[in-house]
Amino acid sequence: MLTDDGKHLYVSWDEYHMLTERLALKVHNSGWEFDQILCLARGGMRPGDVLSRVFDKPLAIMSTSSYRAEAGTIQGRLDMAKYITMPKGELAGRVLLVDDLADTGVTLQAVVERLRGMPAISELRAAVIWVKGVSTYTPDYYVEMLPTSPWIHQPFEDYDNLRPDGLAKKFAV
């Protein structure tokens, strides 16, 4: 649900799952065949997992981080993992890169440039749920374009401030 001021988008679990499924359909309807999925941790892990299951393709994970200050709301220096984690072999062939959103576009652009420099990758396309209007990078597949570039409140963010003692209180009888 987008707030009246256009600055915040609140997404429920049901909406999140529906958007992820719509992303899978966009990729499928394009007719593009791919060999592997690479998701960006952490935001791309949930949609990457779903797409991996729907398409029955291996899932690789690359950790990136740029949002650390102010409880993850201020973008800082981009850190990219040196290694990509995958069950076997190497990242190769036609690769679908998955993340949750193209915010500024900096992370996706940097990852795409790094991956395009890998000779084993023959084709690379990117898929996200949301693209913000301020993004300098537009992925091949996305579900929603957000021209006002709102802050997206995703349902799993409840865990950002939940600690084990909070869980214990939740389940205390």
Strand pairing category for 36-41 and 141-146: unpaired
Q: Does residue 143 sit within a domain?
A: yes
- Rounded to whole angstroms, the Cα distance separating 7 from 26 reads 27
DSSP-based three-state secondary structure for 19:
helix
How far apart, in whole angstroms, are the C-alpha atoms of residue 9 and residue 17?
Answer: 15
DSSP state of 112: H
Instruction: Quote the DSSP letter at residue 147.
Output: T
Predicted TM-score (pTM) of this structure = 0.88
Residue 1 lies in a domain: no
**Residue 165 in domain:** yes
Instruction: Please indicate, yes or no, if residue 3 is contained in any of the structural domains.
Output: no
Asked, for residue 100, whether it belongs to a domain, the answer is: yes
74 close to 83: Cβ distance less than 8 angstroms: no
What pLDDT sits at residue 68? 47
DSSP assignment letter at 150 = P
* Domain interval for residue 156: 8-171
User: What's the domain count of the chain?
Assistant: 1
Residue by residue, pLDDT tens for the chain (173 residues) are 666 677 999 999 999 999 999 999 999 999 999 999 999 998 999 999 999 999 999 999 998 776 544 544 455 566 666 667 877 788 999 999 999 999 999 999 999 999 999 999 999 999 999 999 999 999 999 999 999 999 999 999 999 899 999 999 989 86
The answer to whether residue 56 sits within a structural domain is yes
Q: Per the domain annotation, does 2 fall within a domain?
A: no
| CATH number of the domain bearing residue 57 | 3.40.50.2020
